[in-house]
Amino acid sequence: MQVQMTVNGEEVSKEIEPRTLLVHFLRDHLGLTGTHWGCDTSNCGTCVVWVDNEPVKSCTHLAAMAGGHEVRTVEGLEVDGELDPVQEGFIQCHGLQCGFCTPGMMMTARALLDRNPDPDEATIREAISGQICRCTGYSTIIRSIQWAASKERETAVSLGNTAIEGANA
Amino acid sequence: MQVPAPFEYERATSVDHAIELLNRLGSEARIIAGGHSLLPMMKLRMAAPEYIIDINDLSSQLEYINITDDEVRIGALTRHQQLLESDELAAIMPIFRDAEKVIADPVVRNKGTLGGSLCQADPSEDLSAVCDALDASCVIKGLDGERVVSMHDFHVGPYETAVADGEMLTEVRIPRRSGSSSAYHKVERRAGDWAVASAGAAVTMNGDVIADGRVGLCAVGPNLTNVQPISDALRGATPSEELYAQVGQIAADNASPSDDTRGTAAYKTHLAKELTVRSLRKAVERATGQSATSNGGVA
């Protein structure tokens, strides 16, 4: 069957078997290997991508079901060469060790911060509770997400101040 | 690598179209909603449908929580996340939020649906116990129109429901009763896992007396919906720790769990009793306004 969708802002169209899972479509058909393929049982969460702005486990999602929808992967976090604050946070706070869980963790973290710019630790833990870090590096992952949240709040304040200054000028 | 057996994919454009497809494609067609029960079954080749009918485009028809004075109607495609987040639903039927907090994880809850959970009919599936405690009915639609069946009749057996070939579950209806509330307790090995055992209770109070009460049990037997001796013991009784213990014992006596990696049969039988006690206690506290969580009474 022919499937068409938007992936990281670009229209793609491919001939696939209907049984193709979204994770394999992204990795094998589009070469977007940033999305990792882990447990295959929707437990580990390293395959998390967004479909229509909502994190989903792409190992338990048919590529066909994503047809006509917007998919965003970890490759789509960076915009015009600028890392997303969540990516920066993972660098600053040592949010990855082996790196296997990282793409899913970052996609879930980005979705969390879009909904809740100032999550407490319990909220972050709950948000990533469907994801497993096999290095057990949860503390630094949580710190990375907090770092991103705090940076975004600062940026929002400074942008707000700029806007006020602009309005006063 | 786990990959489903080959199938053909169809996308439904309306409920009627989905039913037409089901009837045209025959008994080897299956509906996919969130896919978080069906796809794992297909990957393990425990299910190998020849046709998959995707109903995810039908949110305008099947994704809703409608609350009236008499009842709550929930569309089959309503996601776990919506059931968790609805403050209106939590205010009158807090059992939903209790259960949804411990069903799978937030990412899975974005996709999984009420209808899919009920149709999977896994004896360890939480929402079946919730809907049973609430005395819910299921609306099943086919070419000849709708029929409404009780939860008791909906679940024919493990992984078997009253939904026949050519039919689909479209809605769950739950009666609202004055002076009622509910609660759910689950024990799991780790966050998001299937229940070792769980129990949900719903009670309707008439003054200081329980006018009506039901308990739904999960993971302690093949089909523990509508344990009649529990409802008989609760009807007209005055709430007390002795009553909860007595009802908990009935739950344990009716449980028939098996030993597995989640626990021994003896442990699960103990949980059936203890979780029934806790759920009943909490439901009564909520219904009588003794708990911080708002009670479910209709003003």
What's the pLDDT tens digit per position in B174-184?
999 999 999 99
Q: What is the pTM of this model?
A: 0.93
pLDDT at position B224 is 64
Which of A82, B98, A116, B37 lies closest to A108, judged by CA?
A116
pLDDT at position A165 is 67
B-interface mutation test, from A42, A115, A145, most B Cβ less than 10 A away: A42
Across the interface, of B40, B52, B106, the residue whose CB is closest to A60 is B40
A55 touches chain B (CB under 8 A): yes
**Which spans in chain A are helix H?**
22-24, 85-92, 102-115, 121-127, 138-168
Min Cα–Cα distance to chain B from A153, Å: 24
Rounded Cα gap, residues A99 and B264, in angstroms: 37
Q: Say which residue, A162 or B105, is predicted with more confidence.
A: B105
Rounded Cα gap, residues B4 and A19, in angstroms: 6
Model confidence at A79: pLDDT above 50: yes
Model confidence at A161: pLDDT above 80: no
The helix/strand/coil state of B218 is strand
- Kindly give, in sequence order, each residue whose CB lies less than 8 Å from that of residue B19, ignoring residues fewer than 6 positions away: B141, B142, B143, B166, B167, B168
Q: How confident is the model at residue B137 (pLDDT cuts 50, 70, 90)?
A: very high
Model confidence at B104: pLDDT above 60: yes
Chain B CB contacts of A126 under 8 Å are 106
CB pairs under 8 A between A and B: 77
DSSP letters, B4-37, are PPP-EEEE-SSHHHHHHHHHHHGGGEEEESS-TT
Rounded Cα gap, residues A20 and A29, in angstroms: 10
The model's pLDDT over A140-152, given as tens digits with 9 standing for 90+, comes to 999 999 999 999 9
H/E stretch holding B285: helix B265-287
Rounded Cα gap, residues B244 and A33, in angstroms: 55
Does the distance separating the beta carbons of B8 and A62 come in below 8 Å?
no
Which of B260, B187, B188 lies closest to B221, judged by CA?
B260
Q: How confident is the model at residue B227 (pLDDT cuts 50, 70, 90)?
A: confident
H/E stretch holding B266: helix B265-287
Chain B CB contacts of A19 under 8 Å are 3-7
B80 touches chain A (CB under 8 A): no
